[in-house]
Amino acid sequence: MRFKQAGKVYYFDTAGIDLKIRDDVIVETSHGLEMGRVVVAPREMDAGDAADQPRPVVRKAGPADIENAGALEAKAEEALIEAGKMIAELNLSMKLISADYGLDGNRVTVLFSAEERVDFRELVRRLTRRLKVRVELRQVGSRDEARAKGGYGRCGRELCCASFLSEFTPVSIKMAKEQELPLNPVKISGSCGRLMCCLSYESEHYRDTKEKLPRVGQRVTTSTGEAVVAGRNLLKETVMVQLESGAVVELPLSQVSF
């Protein structure tokens, strides 16, 4: 199950409750009761699926639970407004991202981003007095900020991290080089300012394909004679070759020997 859309998947014991995908359930966590949504159909777990014995589901969420969760979302928005006012008063260099109340309403977690470490102890004290609940402030990185805020990427689709990506995987500039993309930070960076997560999706395919294709500048043999590789299309697995006549043609790999 997940607590947030595209959030990490956690495993819980169904405790004999009949559950199916998209059911809302109430579970006990280290922070108290929380409501989440079933995203994987109940099944027998493999030994490696969870590091510890999963906790049991408390109950399937009812209308009262769902109504309560909605009311807490409204309270969380109010908490953000109050926190914003106090941040301005204290002149703190931090940017608020989101706030979430626990299901019992006795705790609120506020996420924020900042370029440097921030001493927010006075902010916590003031918020605690104002909201009369336990307040936890948590600083997150640029990727988590993008996930929490959502938005659309340069591809025109909803951000991967906000729609389906459960966990972040390492992305390196080497992946962009393997795909022969322009190494312009503006073109290969996401809204978070980091390298786009999607660079890792086809990295292995590009790497394997490059090993099969001749290098640019390499001499090859074609059905029309000797040629020099002028370019490659890694997705189509074709090469652009310049013939001795000067003509440039695109050929499938099957028609090129090297």
**Percentage of the chain lying above the pLDDT 90 cut:** 60
How many residues does this entry show for the chain? Answer: 258
Closest to 48 in 3D by CA, of 13, 11, 7, 16:
11
Given a cut of 60, whether residue 49 has pLDDT beyond it is no
pTM greater than 0.75: no
Segment 139-166, tens digit of pLDDT: 998 998 898 888 999 889 999 998 888 8
Q: Are the folds of 70-140 and 214-255 the same?
A: no
Long-range CB contacts (within 8 A, 24+) of 58-65:
58/25, 58/26, 58/27, 58/28, 58/33, 59/17, 59/25, 59/26, 60/17, 60/19, 60/23, 60/24, 60/25, 60/26, 61/23, 61/24, 61/25, 61/26, 61/35, 65/24, 65/26, 65/35, 65/103
Given a cut of 60, whether residue 251 has pLDDT beyond it is yes
Pick the CATH number of 70-140 from 3.40.1710, 1.10.3470, 2.60.40, 3.30.300: 3.30.300
Please state the domain extents for the chain: 1-61, 70-140, 144-204, 214-255
- DSSP secondary structure code for residue 120 in this structure: -
Closest to 258 in 3D by CA, of 224, 226, 210:
226
Segment 211-241, tens digit of pLDDT: 889 999 999 999 888 999 999 998 889 999 9
Pick the CATH number of 214-255 from 3.30.750.80, 2.30.30.140, 3.65.10.10, 2.60.120.380: 2.30.30.140
SS3 assignment, position 203: helix
Segment 76-129, tens digit of pLDDT: 999 999 999 999 999 999 999 999 998 989 999 999 999 888 899 999 999 999
